């Protein structure tokens, strides 16, 4: 769930104190707390802007999705796509806060592949959508903030790629 929790649980499972390396990892994670919070605030406050820009980029890249017969054709289907963008952006913020990809994996990837496949949503399109969301998000962040947030977007994208 979080770096600190995971390190403590690992040490406890091994019936030992945290190692000096584990303690350094905790210090590094905790020292980035204010930066992590600033990343989450920017992403949260910019949700609509990020979702709109992501959709613009994706549908420019894949216009067949919004054409008749496409997965995002029509008001209802498009709204569902945008809802999913918001959902995945929120999962990325959970990862940034926790310093862990566990929530992205458990909530966003496990089961999502099966759901999208059963709905006929093309997984390559979801990968493209997450790439667009990554780009729309990272331009809003400083270089240092990008280093914190980028890996969580990358994890999400890679997880969706493995299902294609």
> Do 147 and 74 lie in a common domain?
yes
Same domain, 88 and 125: yes
Same domain? For 20 and 76 the reply is no
Give the range of the structural domain holding residue 7, as residue numbers without chain letter: 1-31
CATH label of the domain that carries residue 122 = 1.10.490.20
Same domain, 87 and 13: no
Q: Is the domain of 20 the same as that of 49?
A: no
Question: Does residue 62 sit in the same domain as residue 107?
Answer: yes
Q: pTM of this prediction?
A: 0.89
Residues 37 and 10 in one domain: no
Same domain, 125 and 142: yes
The tens digit of pLDDT for each residue in 100-144 reads 999 899 888 887 777 887 878 888 999 999 999 999 999 999 999
As for how many domains the chain has, the answer is 2
Residues 39-86 pLDDT 10s: 999 999 999 999 999 999 999 999 999 999 988 899 999 998 899 999
Residues 110 and 153 grouped into a single domain: yes
**DSSP per-residue string spanning the chain:** --HHHHHHHHHHHTTSPPPHHHHHHHHHHHHTHHHHHHHHHHHHHTHHHHHHHHHHHHHHH-GGGTSTTSTT-SHHHHHHHHHHHHHHHHHHHHHHHHT-SHHIIIIIITTHHHHHHHHT--HHHHHHHHHHHHHHHHTTS-HHHHHHHHHHHHHHHHHHHTT-
């Amino acid at each position: 769930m979080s770096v600190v929790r995971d390190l403590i649980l690992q040490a406890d499972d091994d019936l030992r104190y945290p190692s000096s390396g584990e303690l350094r990892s905790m210090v590094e994670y905790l020292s980035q707390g204010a930066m992590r919070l600033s990343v989450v605030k920017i992403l949260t406050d910019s949700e609509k802007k990020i979702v709109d820009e992501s959709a613009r980029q994706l549908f420019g890249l894949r216009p067949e999705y919004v054409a008749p017969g496409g997965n995002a054709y029509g008001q209802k289907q498009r709204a569902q796509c945008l809802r999913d963008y918001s959902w995945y952006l929120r999962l990325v913020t959970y990862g940034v806060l926790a310093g862990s990809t566990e929530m992205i994996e458990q909530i966003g990837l496990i089961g999502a592949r099966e759901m999208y496949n059963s709905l006929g949503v093309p997984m390559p399109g979801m990968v493209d959508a997450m790439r667009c969301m990554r780009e729309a998000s990272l331009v809003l962040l400083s270089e240092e903030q990008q280093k914190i947030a980028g890996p969580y977007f990358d994890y999400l994208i890679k997880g969706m790629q493995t299902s294609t």
